[in-house]
Structure 1
Amino acid sequence: MMIGQLIEKEQIPQFKFIAAPEDKSATFKEKLEGALRLGNEFKAKTEISFQTDSGPKRIETTVWSLTDKYLQIKSGVLIPLKSILEIEY
C-alpha cells in the first residue's frame, strides 16, 4: 500500500518538495529506469509517492525522462529524486 494523499499531477506545482527522511534515489535507480521504459514504450503509468512540506503525496503518472537528480512527468514537471518515498508499477 502506497503512502501519501493521492493528488492529480496537475496539483503538484501547489506543493513544495522537501527531502524524504531517507534519500533512496540510489536504491530506486533500477525501479526508476523501469518506470521510464514503461512510460516511453507502453505508455503505462507508475505510482509515485513523494515528500512535500504538506506531508506525503502520491500521483499516478507516466514517467517521461530521468536525470541524476530529477524525474520528469507531463508538462515539464520535475520531481526531485531525493523527495521520492516509494515507486510502484
Structure 2
Amino acid sequence: MKEPNDCSNIQEIRICIDTIDRQIISDFRKRFEYVKAAAKFKTDETSVKASERFNTMLQQRRQWAEEAGLSPDVIEKIYQDLVSYFIDEELKHWLSK
C-alpha cells in the first residue's frame, strides 16, 4: 500500500482508505472474539459490565488518541459505542450459557 504522500490521485487514496477500513473492521471482529472468550471467566452481570475497567479503558484510549494526534473525544465516542455494543453482546452470550 502506498504512503499517503505517494498517492498520485484520489482513486489511489480511496483504495488505501478502504484497505485500512477493512483491516480495522477485521480487527474489531478479532477483538469481539476475545470479548466472547472473556465471558467464560465472568461470574455475574456486574463482572460482564465491569464499569471500572470500562472507564479505565476509555481513559487509556483517550491518552493513546492524544499521543497519535487524534481527537480524544472522537476516539472515546468510538470506543464507548463499540464497547457498549460488545458488552451487550457479551451479556447475551453469558446469559445464554
For the superposition of Structure 1 and Structure 2, which TM-score range results when normalised by the shorter chain? 0.3 to 0.5
Choose between structure 1 and 2: higher helix proportion.
Answer: 2
- Which is greater in Rg? 2
Q: Which has the higher contact order (CA 8 A, sep 6+)?
A: 1
Using structure 2 for the length normalisation, give the TM-score: 0.30
Higher strand residue share = 1
